[in-house]
Structure 1
Amino acid sequence: MNRTDIRRGLLLLAATAAATGLAALSGTGAYAAGPLNWTQTKTPDPGNWYAFEDLEVLAADDVWSAGSGPDMPMIAHWDGADWTQHDLPGGVLSVQDLAVAGGDDVWGVGAGGTTWYEGRVVHYDGEKWSVVEVPYPEVGSAGQITMNNVVTTGDDVWATGIANRSIDGERVRSGFTLHFDGAEWTLAEIPIPDKATDVDYVGLDVLANGDIVASGVQFVPIPEDPAFSRAMPWVTEFDGAQWTDIGYADFGEISKHGAIADTAVDKKGKGIWFTGTLWQEDPETGAKTPEPYLVHYNGKTGEWSRPKLPTAVGVADGALAVDKRGGVVLAVSNGSGGGEGGGYLLHYDGETVERWEQPQHEGSWSYTQAAYVPGTNVLWLAGCTREESGRPITGVAAYGKVSLRH
């Protein structure tokens, strides 16, 4: 199951919670901003459904977004007035993530082949896209490779993925990294945590000191019933010599984590923000209520901290962005995986939380990507409109000025 599948599963669980009549939890409220002036953009119409799954903003007139539909990759560029869809080489079926160093140096990772389970790395040189040959892990004839994230820092490019293969008759998923130093690519596999059987989704962040942080889900067998596993957050850091698992924030005994929805390096580049969904379990009834959360990892001290957000039913949709002053914004589903409505945004400035409205649509929508125009308070959001079942209809992207009170 890839990252999109994990998020879709959480949305459907949230829909179930809403259908059973779970009420919003009480807690510290957020200051509600007045109506925001959002501008909806006219996104590409390829004649097929698709969703935007990544958003990279270099300037007001230089925005990139990527995603996919059925056997169709989607990469589009905004020039300040219009979106232009890019053509990709044959055999590329989806693009999961982009890293943009400049208009003539854009990297993408995704999938291709006849089964969607062959990794693809692509590059744009300002004129055309090409498939890049890289050293993928050996997975055998029945194995699968999925690429997840890519980051560029100067001449270096880092990418992550999952290798799904058979080991002693069991299917095992493990993470790996690809590194390009400007001259050649190298492959390194990420160790599976000691108590886990396998892992899924490898998020990717690079700290200012050059450390690589990978994140996702680890599957740990339940002691009382080893045939089943518990999905738990997984974060591991590479210092140039070895990988070290760095744990996660402690939410208490009655709280169950969902998947990590998104990550973002903080303003100083010394730590990382994580967002996801916490499933609060009622000890008497066993009922689980979804609650969005925000946590921070300090790469210098190794400490985790958790800002207090207003407590409410909802699923973290995956949109997470750091503003020019170090504040953080995240998108939250309104608790339903389909039907009418969308969600809202929460902005944390280091002390207070402000609630912002999302750009509105008819029907249902979700914003899974967020990014600021560098040095400004202009926020971009991207995602898709959805059917009542939660299936994407078409990609959407909007931008607007938001208030930064800190």
Structure 2
Amino acid sequence: MKFPFYYCSNNFDIKSISVIGDFNNWDGSRNILEKYADGTWMTEVELSPGNYRYKFLINGNIYFNDPNALIYTHDDRGSTASLIVIDESNKRVINTQPASLSIESYSFFGVDKELLFCESSERKYYMDKHVRLMSKIRFSGIAGLHTVNAIWYTPNNEIYEVQERVLNDVDKNENNENEALFQININGDTPEGEWRLQIFINGTFTLEESFSVELKQPEVLDETVSDDASIPSMDSEIPNFIIEQSIRDNLNSSEAKTDLQTEAEKEELSGEDLLDLFEDIKESNISDSKKISSPDEVEVPTDSNIMDLFDEIRKSEPSDESPLGMANEAGGISNETEQSDTGIDELLELKEFINSSQDLDKKSETEKSDSSKSDDATDEEDINEIFKGIKDTNG
């Protein structure tokens, strides 16, 4: 009696298909299927009562089980095969408990040269980084025997490799789960471009994966500043912290000049020179200098400090018998002269500080309020009184 065998799949290009098995000595040239208008491939085979293992041979190199078979068994090569049973009445035996399973999860990833798993949402992999591509399917609810096939296609749509995994309910874990793992190696000889992977379970198309294989991974842009980075021109805006540093340098330079005053210069100041020095300080805008905030937070002397300093200098003035600025005799410098030199030193430092402060505050002078001008007038009157007292003392 003749029994029909048919196969249908629109998910890959079938050029030829035949049924091979125990009934034709696994000869792919004897029972060839014919393609019909609806895309189904079919043939009929004369079978007598008995048990027959068989498979479909597709395109001369792909072996699939029959999706319509109700029973699957092992073949002589350690794989699986479909099974058809014909009883004595020439009827096909139906399996009342067909094989079944469910897909629990699916993943696709690459393995880099350090053997680390790398999943890519863009499905892009590189020969200079990855050494292997893998697909893993986890199954649950396994009953009976199953075959899972993976077909890898190159960018030219040619079959690169066909792989097979056998699942059964004996090898499942405590959670009644099992998995099928497929992989290919990539190297310098691997074709570049868009690849495809198709998964079949018991000859039935299940899923398809697309991914790309490229020679080199893209270079990461170096965001560090190179040695050729442009230098701002003189017209560019200078950062505030640079300006502040220049102010500090000016103040330090003024202090250095003060320290360079020699003993000879101090001794050459006569009483008349001292009065001229007072006049210079009086002409200086002391009140303006007092309001300047130094970058180094230098404390500016107040009017009361200046008055105290003048009092100390007045008290240290030499008597008529030893006028200020006169050279001391070989016996040495008296205590009164030393105190006078100290006062002169402090006065010189005060003058230098006020002059440097005025240079730094030229821009702010135009913004002074009327109230500050009135305070300046008051301060100048106080200083005039001090100068008058000093002149009377010298007289």
Identify the TM-score tier after normalising by the shorter chain.
under 0.3
TM-score for both structures, normalised by structure 1: 0.21
TM-score by length of 2: 0.21
Q: Structure 1 or 2: larger helix share?
A: 2
- Structure with bigger RCO (C-alpha 8 Å, 6+ apart): 1
